[in-house]
A = this chain, B = another copy of it.
Amino acid sequence: MPVYREKLRYTTQGHGHMLDLTQDVAKVCNRAGVSDGLVNLFVVGSTAAIGTIEFEPGLLKDFPNLLDKLAPPGRNYAHEATWHDGNGHSHLQATLLGPSLTIPLESGALALGQWQQVFLIECDVRSRQRTVIVSVLS
């Protein structure tokens, strides 16, 4: 069967905003009609990233804080000379985490742990429209 594909669209609320994609991705897999296979997620753009986390209020603070500790916000980046838009750290954070993730599908469900959800994180300094491409393979 060829790859089944849908696009999910989100509006983020600015730097460090994390969104739980798990239910939306699960619905795409259901519509794909695939029981056992793999699902790939890819966020388009260079200032957002995708991963898995226990999606609870504490970690929604801790994880953006970690990224801001590793690549601190500010204008002391060479990237600033190109665009003067104050988002050098956004690019670095997004590149470090990465835009892509592949998850197994088992008996029609995402093979995540009980406390493991799929998230999108906005690394840019303002609200953005984001597109996540969901590709289901069987």
List A residues at the B interface (Cβ < 8 Å): 2-3, 5, 36-38, 40, 42, 44-46, 51-54, 56-59, 61-63, 66, 70-71, 77-82, 88, 91-92, 95-104, 106, 111-113, 115-116, 133, 135, 137-138
Contacts and interface: CB of A to CB of B under 8 A. Distances in A.
A63 to B, nearest CB: 6
A45 to B, nearest CB: 4
Q: Is the interface of A mostly helix, strand, loop or mixed?
A: mixed
Contact of A77 (B53, B62, B113): B62
Contacts of A45: 113, 115-116
30 contacts: A2-B36, A3-B37, A38-B135, A40-B104, A42-B104, A44-B111, A44-B112, A44-B113, A45-B113, A45-B115, A45-B116, A46-B113, A46-B115, A51-B95, A51-B98, A52-B99, A56-B82, A59-B91, A62-B78, A62-B91, A63-B95, A66-B70, A66-B92, A96-B97, A100-B101, A100-B102, A104-B133, A104-B135, A106-B133, A137-B137
Given A57-B82, A99-B116, 20 more contacts: A2-B36, A3-B137, A3-B138, A5-B104, A37-B135, A42-B102, A42-B103, A46-B116, A53-B91, A53-B95, A57-B78, A59-B77, A59-B78, A59-B88, A62-B88, A63-B91, A63-B92, A96-B97, A98-B98, A100-B101
